[in-house]
Structure 1
Amino acid sequence: MNAEQRQQAITDAVVRDGRVTVVNLAADHGVTVETIRRDLAALDRVGALRKVHGGAVAATRLALPETAVTEREHLAAPAKRAIAAAALSSLLDGGLLAAGATLILDAGTSVGALARILPEGLDLTVVTSSVLTAARLAGRRGLTVRVLGGEVRGITQAAVGPEALAALSRLRVDLAVLGTNGLSADHGLSTPDPDEAAVKTAMVRAARRVVVLADATKTGQEHLVSFADLSDVDLLVTDIPPTTALSTCLTGSGTEVLVA
C-alpha cells in the first residue's frame, strides 16, 4: 500500500468511526507512528480530517443530515462507551447519583450508553424523552422510570412537542444528562431539529446540575438550533481534550471538563 492508498484508508476510517488514533493506525498499516503523523498532517492540510492530540477526528464543522438513532449508536461507539463509564464514575464519586436522586436522560446515543450501565439498587427516579432508554431501564431493580409524553420522532425515538415541554416545566430534578449534535464556542450546544432543541432547553432549565456527554466528532460542529450556552453546563465529558480556543471558553464559563 502506497502513501496515497494509506491516506485514503485513513480518511475512510475517520468517516466510519469518527475518530482514529496514531498508535492503532500505525499497527493497522504496518508503518511507524511518525509516518502516520505525517499522513494526518497532510490530510489535515487538505481538510480531509482534523488532527488532534494522539490521532484525528472528522473535520466536518457544518451540520450533517440526521441519521436514525439505531445507526448513530454505532458511530464512535468505543468513545461513547468510554465517555459513559467516565461520567458514571464521576457522578457516583461526586455523590450526584446517591440514593433517591432524580435525573433526566435525553435521547442522545452517548446518554443511552450511560443508561445501559446505570447500577441497580440506588432508588433513582429517571425521567427520559427516549422510548428506547425507557424500555431498557423499565425492568431495572431500584429504578423508577417516567417517560415524557408527546409526539415521538421516528429518527431519534424521542418525545417532543407541547406535552413534553409542559411536563418538564413542572419538574425540578437533581441532574440532567444530555447529548448534543454540535459543540462550539460561538454556538454553544446545538441540534438540527427545533422541537428536540426546545425539549433539551427545558431539560436544562429543570435541572440543578447539567452534564453533557459529547465525543470529539461533535466538537466544532454547529447545527441549526442552539439549545444551551456553555455556561449552562456544569460538567462536559468527552474523549479528546477540547481545542485551546474551546477550552478557554469552557474555563471562562465555569464548565468542568472530564476527558475519558
Structure 2
Amino acid sequence: MSPTRTPRTPADQRHRTIIDAVIAAGEVDVTALADSLGVSQMTVRRDLRHLDEAGLIRRVHGGATPGRMSPGLRSATMQAEKAAIAARVASMIQPRTAVGLDVGSTCTATAHLLSRQREMTVVTASLYAAMEFDADKTSVFLLGGRLTAEGAVVGTGSTDEIHVALDTIVLGCGGLSAEHGATYHDWDETLVRRGLVKHAQTVILAADHSKFDLVRP
C-alpha cells in the first residue's frame, strides 16, 4: 500500500504562488499579491517574512524581489523553459568536443542532455553538472577548491588547473540587462567563470526570461 501524501496547506500554496510570481516579474508588491491571492496584506507580509527567512525571496519595502534560491528549488522553477533552452544549447554543441559548463540549473539541464553523447571532454566547477556524466563515456574534469552550498567549486587558482582548450563554454547568469550585461551573485564563482572563458573559443549564455532586466550585485 502506497503512503498517503499530506495535502498541501493553503499557506504552502500561497508560498509557491508568491515564489513563482517573484521569479516571473522580478519584483512584486504586497497589494498586488494580496489581491491575486484573495488574502489580507498582513497575511502576505507574514508569508514574505517566512520566505525571506528561508532565503527563498528577498523582502524589500512594500514587496519582494528574488532571493538566491537553493539549486533544488531553482531546478523546480521554469522547468519547461529551462528544458527548451537546454535542448537548444545542446544542439549547438558538436560531439567529440571539449565543453566548459557553468554552475546553475539550466547548465545542469544542458549537462544532462550532453551526457548522452560519447567521447566528450567536460570541464566544470559544478558538482551537479559533473554528476550528470558517465565517466566511462565522458572525460570529466571537476575543478578543485572549496565546495559551496550551490554545488560550485571555487577558490584562488582553481582555473589554473585547466590544460584543455575548450571549444565551447556554457554560462548561466543571475541577471541579464542591456546596460550591465550578465551579472552574478557570487564573486568567487565569477572569477572561476572568467578563468574558463579564457580557455574557450565560443561562449553560450543560457538564461530564462526571469533573469531579464535584473542586475545582481
Q: TM-score under structure 1 normalisation?
A: 0.58
For residues 200 and 63 of structure 1, do their structure 2 counterparts lie closer, same or farther at Cα, with a shift above 3 Å needed?
Answer: farther
For residues 14 and 83 of structure 1, do their structure 2 counterparts lie closer, same or farther at Cα, with a shift above 3 Å needed?
Answer: farther
Structure 1 CA distance for aligned equivalents of residues 105 and 205 of structure 2:
12
Pick the aligned partner of 1:199 from 168, 171, 192: 192
Deviation for aligned residue 1:192: 1.3
Partner of 1:161: 155
SS in 1 for 2:77: coil
After superposition, the C-alpha distances for 1:27-49 in whole angstroms (9 at most, x for unaligned) are xxxxxxxxxxxxxxxx99x987x
Q: Which amino acid aligns with 1:221?
A: L
Runs (5+) with no aligned partner, structure 1: 1-8, 21-42, 49-59, 225-260
Matched, 1:111 2:107: yes
Q: For the Cα contact (< 8 Å) 2:145–2:153, is it kept in 1?
A: yes
Partner of 1:97: 94
Q: How does 1:22-41 map to 2 (within 5 A)?
A: none
Deviation for aligned residue 1:14: 7.0
Pick the aligned partner of 2:66 from 64, 67, 70: 64
Q: For the Cα contact (< 8 Å) 1:151–1:159, is it kept in 2?
A: yes
Structure 1 CA distance for aligned equivalents of residues 156 and 65 of structure 2:
26
Q: Which amino acid aligns with 2:186?
A: D
Number of matched pairs: 172
Structure 2 CA distance for aligned equivalents of residues 124 and 159 of structure 1:
21
Deviation for aligned residue 1:183: 0.4
Matched, 1:88 2:99: no
Structure 2 CA distance for aligned equivalents of residues 200 and 117 of structure 1:
21
Partner of 1:150: 145
Runs (5+) with no aligned partner, structure 2: 1-12, 34-59
Q: Which amino acid aligns with 2:159?
A: L
Structure 2 CA distance for aligned equivalents of residues 87 and 140 of structure 1:
22
Q: CA RMSD in A?
A: 3.0
For residues 197 and 78 of structure 1, do their structure 2 counterparts lie closer, same or farther at Cα, with a shift above 3 Å needed?
Answer: same
Q: Which amino acid aligns with 1:175?
A: T
Q: How does 1:1-260 map to 2 (within 5 A)?
A: 13=17, 15-16=19-20, 18-19=23-24, 64-89=66-91, 91=92, 96-99=93-96, 101-137=97-133, 139=134, 141-154=136-149, 156-168=150-162, 170-224=163-217
**How much identity, in percent, do the aligned residues show?**
28
Structure 1 CA distance for aligned equivalents of residues 173 and 194 of structure 2:
11
Q: TM-score under structure 2 normalisation?
A: 0.69
Deviation for aligned residue 1:97: 1.5
Structure 2 CA distance for aligned equivalents of residues 87 and 141 of structure 1:
23
SS in 2 for 1:83: helix
Q: For the Cα contact (< 8 Å) 2:115–2:132, is it kept in 1?
A: no
